[in-house]
Amino acid sequence: MIGKESTAGRATKFTFLGLWLVFTVFPLYWITITSLKAPGDIFAFPIAYWPEHFSLENYSGLFGKADFGVYLTNSLIVATVAAAIATVISMLSAYVLARFEFRTKSALLMAALVTQMIPTFIALGPLYLLMTDLKMVDNRLGLILVYIAVCIPFCTVMLRGFFENIPDALEEAAMIDGLSRFGALFRVLLPVMRPGIIAAFIFNFVNCWNELFLSVTLMNSDSNKTVPTALNGFISSFNIDWGSMSAAAVLTILPTMVLFAFASRHIVQGLTAGAVKG
C-alpha cells in the first residue's frame, strides 16, 4: 500500500512538473517559432505550431531596417559596466556593514530595504529633472550612473549575508600573518566569496539588461537606445510588428541564457551560501 501511494505521489508530482514546464517553456517556444515565420505566415489560419517553411526574414529585417546591432551594443556596455561597478561598491559597503558596528548601521540597512519597496516609475519625474540639470539625458554614462544607484542597495544587503557567513577568525589569521585589512579582504575573503560575487553580478546585469522605464525616459536618440527601448518601439498606436519583435526578443534572451548556463553552478552556490547565516 505504501509503495502504491509512493508511486502515485511520484506520478502526480511528475505530472504537475511536466504541466508547469510546458506552461513555462511554451511562450519561449512560440516567440522563437514566430520569429522564424515569414511575415505573411504569422497571422495565417489555422495556426501553424510548426511552420512548413522557416524564414530568417524577420532577423535580416531587424538588422537591415533598424539599428538593432547598436541597441545590443549599448545594452551590453551599459549593463556590464553598471553591474561591475555596482558589484564592487556593494561588496565594499557590505563588508563595512558586516564587520563594523556604528551608530547609523541599522538606519542604513533600513534605508537600503525601503528603497526596494518604491516603484521605479515614481522617481522618473524628479530623476529626469536631475539628469537634465546634469546634462546627462540621452547619455549612456548618465544611464550607467542611474543603474549603479538602483542596484547598490539590494546588492549590498545581499552581499552582507555572505560576509556574515565567513568566520572572523579567517580574516584575523590573515592579518596576524601580516596582511592589512584590505589585503585580507582582497586576498582571503574575496576568493571564498566568489560564488556570492558572481551571483550578485549576474543579478545586477540581468536587472540592467531588462530595465525599461529608466531607459525609455533617459534615452532619446537611436544611437543611445538600449534593447528594451527597441522592443518597446515595435509597438505603435495601430500596429504591432510581431515578427520583428519576436526576433528581437529571441536575441535579447540569448545573452542572459548563455550567462546563466555558464555560471549556474556559482549562482546556486552563491544563493545557498547567502541564504542562511552560519
Which whole number is the average pLDDT over 52-81? Answer: 83
The DSSP symbol for 234 reads T
Least confident of 45-49, 221-225, 228-232: 45-49
Which whole number is the average pLDDT over 148-176? Answer: 86
Q: Which conformational region is residue 74 in: left (phi greater than 0), alpha (psi within -120 to 50 degrees), or beta? A: alpha
Is the pLDDT at 86 greater than 90, yes or no?
yes
Which whole number is the average pLDDT over 171-188? Answer: 83
- Quote the CA–CA distance of 41 and 21 in Å, as a whole number: 27
One-character DSSP codes across 83-152: HHHHHHHHHHHHHHHHH---TTHHHHHHHHHHHTTS-GGGGHHHHHHHHHHTT-TT-HHHHHHHHHHHHH
Number of neighbours of residue 164 by Cβ within 10 angstroms: 16
pLDDT for res 275: 45
Contact 74, 140 (CB under 8 A): yes
- Quote the CA–CA distance of 201 and 190 in Å, as a whole number: 14
pLDDT digits (tens, 9 = 90+) for 190-223: 888 888 888 889 889 999 998 888 888 888 888 8
pLDDT digits (tens, 9 = 90+) for 51-65: 777 888 888 877 776
Residue 157: pLDDT band (50, 70, 90) is confident
Residue 253: pLDDT band (50, 70, 90) is confident
pLDDT for res 147: 94
> Which of 150, 16, 23, 3 lies closest to 85, judged by CA?
150
At a CB cut-off of 8 Å and minimum separation 6, what does 30 contact? none
Contact 114, 180 (CB under 8 A): no
- And the C-alpha cell for 242? 510581431
- And the C-alpha cell for 230? 527597441
Is the pLDDT at 228 greater than 70, yes or no?
yes
Contact 215, 229 (CB under 8 A): yes
